[in-house]
Homo-oligomer: A and B are copies of this chain.
């Protein structure tokens, strides 16, 4: 599962810790999702989408990572 989280975060000049705070998760979790260690839960995916005012499909891509 690919995602545009790093790009969206960088566009806003947020650190992983900033984003983690806004999402209510640990900094390491944001890092793990950005680096593809695991996928977020569905509730977290919704929180991410809402934070960026985007659809889940516009952030996450149901394909394998390179």
* Chain A interface residues (CB < 8 Å from chain B): 1, 39-43, 45-47, 49-50, 55-57, 60, 62
Q: Beyond the given A39-B41, A41-B42, A47-B62, please list 8 additional residue pairs across the A-B interface where CB-CB is below 8 A.
A: A1-B42, A1-B46, A39-B43, A42-B45, A43-B62, A49-B57, A50-B62, A55-B55
Residues of B within 8 A of A57 (CB): 49, 55-56
Residues of B within 8 A of A41 (CB): 39, 41-42
Most chain B C-beta atoms within 10 Å of own C-beta, residue among A39, A42, A46, A57? A42
What CA separation (Å) do A65 and B43 show in the bound complex?
13
Task: Write the nearest CB–CB distance from A3 to chain B, whole angstroms.
Answer: 10
